[in-house]
Amino acid sequence: MKRSASSQRWLQRQENDPFVKRAQLEGFRSRAVYKLMEINEKDHLLKPNMTILDLGAAPGSWSQWAGQYLNYRATIIATDILPIEPLKGVTIVQGDFTEETTIQMIRDLFVSQQADLVMSDLAPNMSGMKAVDQPKTVMLAELALETAFELLKPKGDFITKLFQGEGFDVYLNQLRKGFQKVLIRKPKASRPESREVYLVARHKL
């Protein structure tokens, strides 16, 4: 089957991407791992014996690296609508995060504990149309924030991906009302042409 021009461009970009090559060499599941690494280098979020909830986790590189970085001295729960291959020290919940049944499955794992860190790399299937994609992205970020407010310990931390555009400033203000400090990060592994940034919200009020 002949590939479309856009598919060919995507494949070429992947083949030439230094972060893709590095992830393959270092045994990580995706290039996204280097976004979390850089954020953690700056903000020192990961600490031994913490409980982490990883939203939009597939294929699992954030949970994979967090487990290794903490020498598997952490409780990590990862969820995605897509299947995630098993990871050492990680409990996996497969389901649609926009559905109450999936959120309830996650809640059930937090009956006797609260999260120290909620991290979200959630993103919708992109259509390429900003007017369609941006509201979907904001909706997922809002769901992630609701979950963080519910499951985080006092002074817990939250990381979420968001695209700059409509709804961004409103969301940023929501974070500032609920956390002591909010930082905007653009890791080197985020492609320069992308509007993607990560919001790091420290110390839930």
What are the angstrom distances between the C-alpha of 188 and each of 18, 37, 114, 191? 11, 10, 31, 7
| pLDDT value of position 2 | 46
* CA distance linking residue 30 with residue 60, whole number of Å: 8
**Phi and psi of 78, rounded to 5°?**
-120, 140
Bridge partners, residue 160, by sequence: 120, 199
Helices and strands per DSSP (H, E), number in the chain: 7, 7
161 is catalytic: yes
- Distance in angstroms (rounded) separating the CA atoms of residues 53 and 121: 11
**pTM of this prediction exceeds 0.85:** yes
Average pLDDT rounded to a whole number, residues 24-32: 94
Rounded to an integer, what is the distance from CA 117 to the centroid of its chain? 11
- How do residues 104-129 score in pLDDT, each as one tens digit? 999 999 999 999 999 999 988 776 67
Catalytic residue selected from 161, 177, 186, 204: 161
Residues in the chain: 205
**For residue 14, what pLDDT is reported?**
57
Give the model's pLDDT for residue 133. Answer: 79
pLDDT recorded at residue 13: 58
Q: What is the mean predicted confidence (pLDDT) over 156-177?
A: 96
Please give the pLDDT value at position 12: 56
Q: Which CATH class is domain 33-204?
A: alpha beta
Read off the pLDDT of each residue in 11-37 and give the average, rounded to a whole number: 86
Over the stretch 39-61, which tens digit does the pLDDT of each residue have? 999 999 999 999 999 999 999 99
Torsion angles phi and psi, residue 25, rounded to 5: -65, -35
Task: Quote the percentage of the chain above a pLDDT of 90.
Answer: 80
Q: How far apart are CA 136 and CA 44, in angstroms?
A: 30
Indicate the domain borders of the chain: 33-204
